[in-house]
A = this chain, B = another copy of it.
């Protein structure tokens, strides 16, 4: 029941407590036979160095705070898993916080008390006030899958790791155009997130290059039920029904698929094409076979790790890294070239 400390081990091994500490510090100089005596005593007593005490004196906790807001989207569990494993490999550990909202400010006060060495925020952002607090405290923050909103002054920026979302959106736009779609609808995520905005911007880039604009636009707020409602609205009028729907993430794309098939009696991709973003595990399930844009999680995790550790060292400037994403063509996009009754210039706008 009593916790065994380095002193106890020292006593048993007949050395000083300092020696015990050295024996457990990689690279410290201890004579081989001393080390052996210490290790034997430690084993006998079941001694484990107290990481809390070590953190206090070294002023590094080897803990990274991870803030998440919702795990229903299967993308995030995968992120947690990969990130934890990567960090564990480096001898770091993850203190997990669930924030109810995208704005993680209140959770942060908590985190900071734990003297984390760094913070990664996935699917959440923080106010520029708190970002500057962290900067002052010398705690690196990296946003995962979000980009910092520039503060009023643009004064504090936070490092971030994302996919090349705009490029990804553009790829989808081009695919849809190439396969003959003309009435392309966009299903937005949370409007203020960079992911949703950038992907939409990319889509619009592609459309604009072809002299087109968005045919319609709904907001699903990255939520299953809201996406369902938005799809109902988007497809309410048969006369102006979209021929393709690009959802800001797979979670909503799947909601759309379910709604289109089950509630609206439309066939995908025969009547409508659907594309998502993320490439969550379910996208590959035969029931969905969803065409989507794959976010390269391993590369994103790696970039996060690197940003974190670079900034742990010294006072490095915030940096943003965006990793390429790749189009995963599966079964939810049809070719519409030969679609009967198609009116090519229908949605065309004057440049």
| Chain B: CB-nearest residue to A76 | B77
Instruction: Name the one of B66, B71, B136 contacting A46, with C-beta atoms under 8 angstroms.
Output: B136
In the bound complex, residues from chain B placing their C-beta under 8 Å from that of A282 are 282
CA A80 – CA B133 in complex, angstroms? 28
CA A114 – CA B3 in complex, angstroms? 13
A49 proximal to B (CB < 8 A): yes
The size class of the interface chain A forms with chain B is 35 or more
CB pair B96–A49 under 8 Å, yes or no, is no
CB pair A115–B78 under 8 Å, yes or no, is no
| Chain B: CB-nearest residue to A66 | B96
CB pair B81–A71 under 8 Å, yes or no, is yes
Query: Nearest-CB distance from A204 to chain B (Å)?
Result: 30
| Chain B: CB-nearest residue to A93 | B95
| Chain B: CB-nearest residue to A1 | B138
A53 proximal to B (CB < 8 A): yes
- 23 A-B residue pairings within 8 Å (CB atoms): A1-B136, A1-B137, A48-B113, A51-B115, A52-B56, A53-B56, A56-B56, A71-B81, A72-B77, A72-B281, A74-B74, A76-B77, A77-B80, A80-B96, A81-B98, A93-B95, A93-B110, A94-B95, A258-B285, A258-B286, A258-B287, A261-B286, A282-B282
